[in-house]
Amino acid sequence: MLYIIGLGLSDETDITVKGLKAVQSSERIYLEAYTSILTVGKEKLEEFYGKKIIIADREMVESESDAILANADTVDVSFLVVGDPYGATTHTDLVIRARELNIPVQVVHNASIMNAAGACGLQLYNFGQTISIVFFTDTWRPDSFYDRIKENKQFGLHTLCLLDIKVKEQSIENLARGRKIYEPPRYMTINQAAEQLLEIEENRQEGLCTPDTLAIGCARIGTATQQIVAGSLQELVDVDFGGPLHSLVLVGSKMHHMEADFIREYAVDKSKFDHLVSKTSA
């Protein structure tokens, strides 16, 4: 059996009982280590699970999946994913490859940012399409997701923005020269995401991500140090949200009065926030 097991959002104790039993029955255990992170390292997981863990980076998962799937038709193999197993398309691809090899697959679900985003006070029913914001470079400043924001805004829906993670990435020069030298890990902050959205708005001029646009910054959701701050995009640029992981929610126009009451407590400036939410529909 290939088990694909969600670990939740915080630490080693977030695994479900079903997931823990699967891990403890497995001959090999892999930890996917590039689409998200926990607040603890693999050593803590190994201590809690009582099993050795193999780190699976992007190269292994995408190019060397045969090693992960080897003899999984005769022994149990666990593939651990921060959040929920279906939070990234890479894991769907692994399931497809296992099926092609007639390897049984069992998925053990857990909390992910896709549902834990409700901690900010906005109702999940009122979210539209989720987008990803990637790091700008000197030569690449993508804005295609702006159109997804626009579609959500047309229906008054909130937009969850997942922020870029760079783990075990190579510089263009090292990649071109074939040198296995990797850049330090980078995690996009809410501040950087807000700045990039404001830059895109300056270029697009469609009024979706202006300095006054109401948004909610969510840092380390599901952990003991989670931080939630509501305010305009311009206000969020200056808030210290601490360490990763960060995500950002753009608030839709059809905010329910219960949502407004809930997130008012997180506002940078409550009086300004009251003025903004007064424009929303109850």
On whether 103 is known to bind a ligand per the annotation, the reply is no
Higher pLDDT, 169 or 63: 63
On whether 163 is known to bind a ligand per the annotation, the reply is yes
Query: What is the crossing angle of helices 17-24 and 42-49, to 10°?
Result: 90
On whether 84 is known to bind a ligand per the annotation, the reply is yes
pLDDT digit string, tens, across residues 100-155? 999 999 999 999 999 999 999 999 999 999 999 999 988 899 999 999 999 999 99
pLDDT digit string, tens, across residues 143-169? 999 999 999 999 999 999 999 998 766
On whether 113 is known to bind a ligand per the annotation, the reply is yes
Q: Which residue has the tokens 């997931």?
A: 19
pLDDT digit string, tens, across residues 246-257? 999 999 988 888
On whether 87 is known to bind a ligand per the annotation, the reply is yes
pLDDT digit string, tens, across residues 68-90? 999 999 999 999 999 999 887 77
On whether 112 is known to bind a ligand per the annotation, the reply is yes
